[in-house]
Amino acid sequence: MNKARVMLLAFGLLLSTCAVSVATISKFLRIDFPFAGGQFGTYVFGANNKGQVVGFTYDGTGAAHSFESGSDANLIQLDVPDTLATFAHGINDAGHIAGSFVDQAGVHGFTYVDGAYAMIDAPLATKGTVPYGINNREEIVGYFANETGTHGFLYAAGAFTVLDNPGGTDTVAYGINQSGQIVGTFRDSSGTHSFLYHQGKFTRIESPIEASLTLAYGVNDGGQIVGTFLDGEGMHGFISDGREFTTVDFPGEGGRTVMSGINNSGDVIGNVYESRGAVHGVLMSTDIIQPVPDRE
């Protein structure tokens, strides 16, 4: 591990100063799809509590293809038929997948359940629908775009709920847990910020003082949040539960770290961007994440 740096975070939810903590990586697995070229790479976005992961990669022509990991940990190509590109973003414990695809008509969301694809288009979307997270209740979050900007959404029981952070614009919802806690990002006049949304309330997740950008991507049932922030030295991953904020840099050659998901077993997924341009998916565990009991 190149470095592990710990910072303080003013976490709006608990209105308290986070404690200093140092993370030790206890498991580290690099994930590379077989035909992913160095300049294109492998991007991992979702993980369930069984350790299955989903993401996407690019072939030698630059075309995007999705994948999921099988029971034997091999990566299986997973593309929506007759499309230009497929991006898998989230997977729940039943193996149901949410993501997006591109065809001649534009950008659409999809679910993949028991071998069948279903398209998801938000009613107000005119410029695309992109699902990201899916929980075990089949609740899906993501964003859609139209002439007024980018809007987060919650899709549950066949109905869309628009999630627009009242403090800004361009809301994107990335992750959802079993309790319905949602994490994502929004923009205002000072930049891009992260939020936690629960029971109708948006709570801003403040960045470390020296960070110019904070992106919250995933949340597990224990309320542990992972994401990425940018400072003067580059891009780093973070883990926070509202009491501790720990930054983690994946091993790599001058790498930049993006942490995109966390499950109840304490596995964290994301990507490391090497200085020579290669992008790798990663699956890791640390000593600061404790397993969370299953919730029905």
Cα–Cα distance measured from residue 21 to residue 19, given in angstroms and rounded to the nearest whole number: 6
Q: How many domains would you assign to the chain?
A: 1
Do the domain assignments include residue 291? no
- Which residues are paired to 261 by β-bridges? 269
Quick one: pLDDT at residue 187? 94
**Is residue 169 within 8 Å of 187, Cβ to Cβ?**
yes
Sheet containing 159-163: which strands, arranged edge to edge? Answer: 129-134, 140-146, 149-156, 159-163
Question: What sign for the dihedral angle of Cα 248, 153, 186, 224?
Answer: negative
- Domain span holding position 81: 10-286
Do the domain assignments include residue 226? yes
Question: CATH no. for residue 52?
Answer: 2.120.10.30
- Which residues are paired to 153 by β-bridges? 142, 162
From the number of C-beta atoms within 10 Å of its C-beta (0-12, 13-18, 19+), residue 212 rates as: exposed
How far from chain centre, in Å, is Cα 200? 21
Quick one: pLDDT at residue 1? 34
Do the domain assignments include residue 238? yes
Contacts of 133 (CB under 8 A, 6+ apart): 46, 89, 90, 98, 140, 141, 142, 173, 174, 175, 176, 182, 218
Quick one: pLDDT at residue 36? 59
Quick one: pLDDT at residue 113? 96
Quick one: pLDDT at residue 285? 79
Quick one: pLDDT at residue 246? 83
Quick one: pLDDT at residue 116? 96
Q: What is the pLDDT of residues 94-153, one digit of tens each?
A: 999 999 999 999 999 999 999 999 999 999 999 999 999 999 999 999 999 999 999 999
How many other C-beta atoms are found inside a 10 Å radius of the C-beta of residue 168? 19
Per-residue pLDDT of the chain (296 residues; tens, 9 = 90+): 333 332 222 233 332 345 434 455 667 788 888 865 545 689 999 999 998 999 999 887 778 999 998 766 688 999 999 999 999 999 999 999 999 999 999 999 999 999 999 999 999 999 999 999 999 999 999 999 999 999 999 999 999 999 999 989 999 999 999 999 999 999 999 888 999 999 999 998 876 657 788 899 999 999 999 999 888 888 888 888 877 788 888 776 666 889 999 999 888 999 988 877 788 898 887 665 666 665 54
Q: Per the structure block, which two tokens stand in for 6?
A: 């710990």
Do the domain assignments include residue 198? yes
Cα–Cα distance measured from residue 175 to residue 81, given in angstroms and rounded to the nearest whole number: 26
Do the domain assignments include residue 292? no
Does the pTM of the predicted model rise above 0.85? Answer: yes
Do the domain assignments include residue 14? yes
Quick one: pLDDT at residue 25? 62
End-to-end CA distance of the chain: 36
Do the domain assignments include residue 5? no
Do the domain assignments include residue 294? no
Quick one: pLDDT at residue 255? 64
